[in-house]
């Protein structure tokens, strides 16, 4: 019985250790995504630059003939802002690359993509052919229906309709709830450990205090990392929204005038194509009436 209890205790400790290591890895990954160098490309609507990577992840009919206005590219993915003249609204399209966080950029994301492209009906060591299907949950599309500047408040209603994992991988400066909860948990843990150290000092339990000090040091390092992540998220979010509004407002009046004239021209062409048909139909009806008379 004692051996069984010790075995269960060892398994629980190993699980807790594995969970802590995964949390640390997730925090380091988030910090690396926030601090990754960004290559900014500002495009004019006159260039009619297409959206990159859309055919790999979405139904390509929605963003066909859209103009890209801004591209932010890192080693992890791309974030592009464009204007859809058919729907008369701007949008943000973000997609992950086939490499993700690791020592090289990177194995996990590529392995995840390859695994999702394998057929599920084959089992065991059978030959697993590749699928031509698109990669799921690796891209985010946010359309702004309101005629207002981009802001966090205008984007939050659309977060419920997208995959949050893909959103946090492509735009890591959003979603601060998890980090704030983890920071509060680390702070409360540090306070509890400090109280325990005081109690052990009164009882002169110095050996246990050494272990508690080690735990306190780890919790303090994690709290410092979480505070840095939150600061980076706030700064990155402000800079991102500022870039979106700048890229859209820099030449939007001439863009609106151009596409307004394009719609008027298309409408005039439709009307001019309909009028001869109506004239021919009226002439045929008149000839029919004369024949009947």
Helix, strand, or coil (residue 65)? coil
> How far is CA 114 from each of CA 125, 134, 139, 166, rounded to the nearest angstrom?
16, 11, 16, 17
Encode 90-119: b = buried (16+ Cβ within 10 Å), e = exposed.
bbbbbbbbbbbbeeebbeebbebbeeebee
Percent of the chain residues topping a pLDDT of 90: 20
- Quick one: DSSP state of residue 149? -
Q: Looking at residue 204, what is its pLDDT?
A: 76
pLDDT band with cut points at 50, 70 and 90 for residue 159: confident
Record the tokens describing residue 11, joined without a space: 């398994």
Q: What angle do CA 53, 139, 159 make, to 5 degrees?
A: 140
pTM: 0.74
Cα 265 to the center of its chain, rounded Å = 37
Q: Is 75 helix (H, G, I), strand (E, B) or coil?
A: coil
Residue-wise pLDDT for 187-239, tens only, equals 999 999 888 888 887 877 777 888 888 889 989 999 999 999 999 999 999 99
Q: Which two tokens stand for residue 254?
A: 């001439």
**Cα–Cα distance, 286 to 282 (Å, whole number):** 6
pLDDT of 212: 85
Domain ranges in the chain are 32-174, 176-236
| H-type alpha helices, the chain | 2-35, 54-57, 107-116, 152-155, 164-170, 177-203, 206-249, 252-292
> What span, in angstroms and rounded, lies between the C-alpha atoms of 247 and 228?
28
With bands split at pLDDT 50, 70 and 90, how would you rate the model's confidence at 175? confident
Question: Directed axis angle between helix 206-249 and helix 2-35, to 10°?
Answer: 30
């Amino acid at each position: 019985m004692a051996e069984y209890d010790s075995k269960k205790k060892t398994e629980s400790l190993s699980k807790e250790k594995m969970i802590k290591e995964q949390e640390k890895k997730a925090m380091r990954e988030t910090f690396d995504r926030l601090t990754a160098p960004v290559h900014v490309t500002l495009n004019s609507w006159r260039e009619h630059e297409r959206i990159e990577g859309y055919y790999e992840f979405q139904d390509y009919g929605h963003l066909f003939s859209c103009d890209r206005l801004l591209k932010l590219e890192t080693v992890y993915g791309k974030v592009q802002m464009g204007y859809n003249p058919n729907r008369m609204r701007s949008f943000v399209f973000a997609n992950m690359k086939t490499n993700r966080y690791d020592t090289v950029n990177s194995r996990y994301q590529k392995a995840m993509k390859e695994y999702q492209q394998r057929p599920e009906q084959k089992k065991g060591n059978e030959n697993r052919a590749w699928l031509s299907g698109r990669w799921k949950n690796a891209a985010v599309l946010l359309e702004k229906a309101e005629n207002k500047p981009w802001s966090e408040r205008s984007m939050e209603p659309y977060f419920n309709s997208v995959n949050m994992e893909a959103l946090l991988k492509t735009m890591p400066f959003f979603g601060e709830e998890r980090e704030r909860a983890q920071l509060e948990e680390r702070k409360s843990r540090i306070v509890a450990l400090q109280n325990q150290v005081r109690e052990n000092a009164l009882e002169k339990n110095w050996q246990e205090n050494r272990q508690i000090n080690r735990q306190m040091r780890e919790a303090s390092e994690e709290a410092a990392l979480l505070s840095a992540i939150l600061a980076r998220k706030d700064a990155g979010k402000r800079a991102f929204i500022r870039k979106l509004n700048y890229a859209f407002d820099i030449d939007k009046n001439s863009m609106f005038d151009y596409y307004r004239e394009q719609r008027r021209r298309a409408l005039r062409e439709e009307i001019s194509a309909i009028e001869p048909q109506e004239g021919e139909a009226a002439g045929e009806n008149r000839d029919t009436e004369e024949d009947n008379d």
